[in-house]
């Protein structure tokens, strides 16, 4: 069981502004003022001063209009303005402004220039996270991948990234046949150009093949990633990040073994993952939650319900402490807990746990509908 990392809309916005690629030439003093206005706009959002954020962003846009027809600063300001519309929950105007930013950038540098990637991805993220249209996301990511491929001397990791991202969208849409060559290509490119990054791509591809039911292929990729991450620990045995990477790899193998109906193998990898994390983490840390849940799932698959129960109870307790009593991550834990209680013939407690899981899911659905 894997728990995703969530980033606030403002965090995503700040990352978006901080990671902008190089811009075309404009007067240095004016660019410095534009930079300051954009940064002040983001800071104003961070402190919930929405009016100040809007004024500074609009001022930056006005300044950028004087930079000339082949300059891309205006498109960047429009992306930020679209993000502010999202902050205001004005999704129609956000969508229109994202599209305007794409058109502005295309007029400045052409449809094939790598700078167009930035507004294209911003629009795609809007369709992925806010106004969900996976078909539109796929079309935009296809275009981004094409631009990256055609950019001379491009960074191979960018090609890897967009192969994987497009593959993940196809997977979300159930288009596994179209996703498969993209995941394979990402792995092959990483093997040739970026061996340090290779285990990450192998694990991502392994999760894809597991979801598709191709557990043999998934296991091969995950075992390769495991061997590579074990080699890293030989060189740096006390490296906490390397240990956590190893645990993540073992978690994927646990999930693969469970899907493949291999509970004995799942228990071994789950126990090893938990032991790795316990070796360098305090006993109250949230990183223990998925490892405890994974071992509980392996034991449940072996009908060892009484052994699984305290592990899952500890996982729930840690999740409540670190993530809150109504966090989305609690719902699957509570549902699993309910099934264990049913197996132990404790129906009243099982119903209570399931009702709580259902309540959390309903709250999350209501929150999504309001956004």
Q: How far apart are CA 221 and CA 204, in angstroms?
A: 9
**Closest C-alpha to 113, from 68, 70, 52:** 70
Residues of the chain with pLDDT under 70: 1-26, 370-371
DSSP annotation string for 22-51: PPPP--HHHHHHHHHHHHHHHHHHHTT-HH
Angle between helices 240-259 and 215-235 (to 10 degrees): 160
Q: How far apart are CA 288 and CA 270, in angstroms?
A: 11
Q: How far apart are CA 208 and CA 229, in angstroms?
A: 20
**In the prediction, which pLDDT does 8 show?**
35
Q: Provide CB contacts within 8 A for 34, sequence distance 6+.
A: 26, 60, 63, 64, 73, 77
**In the prediction, which pLDDT does 248 show?**
97
- What count of Cα atoms within 13 Å lies in the side-chain half-sphere of residue 11? 4
Q: How far apart are CA 127 and CA 57, in angstroms?
A: 23
**In the prediction, which pLDDT does 17 show?**
38
Tell me the chain's radius of gyration from C-alpha atoms.
24
**In the prediction, which pLDDT does 25 show?**
56
**Closest C-alpha to 351, from 343, 342, 359, 360:** 342
Q: Provide CB contacts within 8 A for 308, sequence distance 6+.
A: 295, 296, 297, 299, 300, 340
Q: What is the DSSP letter of 130?
A: T
For residues 79 and 38, the answer to whether their CB atoms sit within 8 Å is: no
**In the prediction, which pLDDT does 371 show?**
59
**In the prediction, which pLDDT does 2 show?**
36
CA-to-CA separations, 142 to 29, 137, 147, 307, 317, in angstroms, rounded? 37, 8, 9, 48, 43
**In the prediction, which pLDDT does 21 show?**
45
For residues 249 and 2, the answer to whether their CB atoms sit within 8 Å is: no
- pTM metric for this prediction: 0.86
CA-to-CA separations, 163 to 139, 166, 249, in angstroms, rounded? 13, 5, 21
For residues 229 and 199, the answer to whether their CB atoms sit within 8 Å is: yes
End-to-end CA distance of the chain: 27
For residues 202 and 187, the answer to whether their CB atoms sit within 8 Å is: yes
**Closest C-alpha to 167, from 122, 218, 207, 123:** 207
Domains and CATH numbers, the chain: 9-133 (1.25.40.10)
Q: How far apart are CA 45 and CA 58, in angstroms?
A: 14
Query: Which spans in 47-175 are helix H?
Result: 50-64, 73-87, 91-109, 117-129, 134-150, 156-172
**In the prediction, which pLDDT does 150 show?**
96
């Amino acid at each position: 069981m894997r728990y995703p990392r969530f980033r606030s809309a403002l965090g995503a916005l700040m990352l978006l502004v901080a990671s902008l690629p190089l811009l075309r030439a404009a007067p240095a003093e004016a660019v410095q003022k534009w930079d300051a206005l954009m940064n002040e706009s983001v800071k104003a959002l961070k402190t919930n001063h929405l009016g100040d954020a809007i004024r500074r962003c609009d001022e930056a846009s006005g300044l950028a209009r004087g930079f000339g027809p082949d300059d891309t600063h205006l498109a960047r300001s429009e992306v930020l303005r679209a993000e502010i519309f999202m902050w205001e929950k004005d999704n129609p105007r956000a969508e229109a402004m994202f599209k305007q930013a794409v058109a502005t950038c295309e007029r400045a540098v052409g449809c094939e220039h790598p700078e167009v990637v930035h507004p294209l991805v911003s629009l795609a993220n809007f369709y992925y996270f806010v106004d969900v249209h996976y078909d539109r996301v796929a079309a935009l990511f296809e275009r981004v991948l094409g631009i990256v491929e055609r950019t001379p001397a491009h960074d191979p990791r960018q090609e890897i990234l967009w192969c994987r991202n497009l593959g993940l969208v196809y997977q979300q849409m159930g288009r596994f046949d179209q996703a498969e060559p993209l995941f394979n290509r990402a792995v092959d490119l990483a093997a040739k150009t970026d061996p340090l990054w290779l285990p990450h791509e192998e694990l991502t591809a392994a999760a894809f093949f597991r979801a598709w039911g191709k557990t043999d292929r998934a296991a091969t990729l995950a075992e390769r990633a495991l061997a590579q991450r074990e080699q890293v620990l030989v060189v740096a045995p006390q490296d906490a990040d390397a240990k956590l990477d190893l645990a993540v790899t073992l978690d994927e193998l646990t999930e693969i073994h469970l899907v493949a109906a291999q509970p004995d193998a799942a228990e071994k990898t789950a126990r090893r993952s938990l032991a790795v994390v316990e070796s360098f983490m305090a006993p109250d840390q949230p990183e223990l939650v998925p490892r405890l849940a994974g071992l509980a799932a392996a034991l449940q698959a072996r009908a060892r319900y009484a052994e699984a129960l305290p592990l899952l109870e500890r996982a729930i307790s840690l999740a409540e402490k670190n993530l809150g009593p109504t966090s989305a991550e609690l719902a699957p834990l509570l549902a699993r807990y309910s099934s264990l209680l049913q197996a132990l013939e404790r129906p009243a407690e099982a119903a209570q746990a399931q009702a709580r899981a259902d309540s959390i899911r309903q709250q999350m659905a209501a929150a999504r509908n309001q956004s």
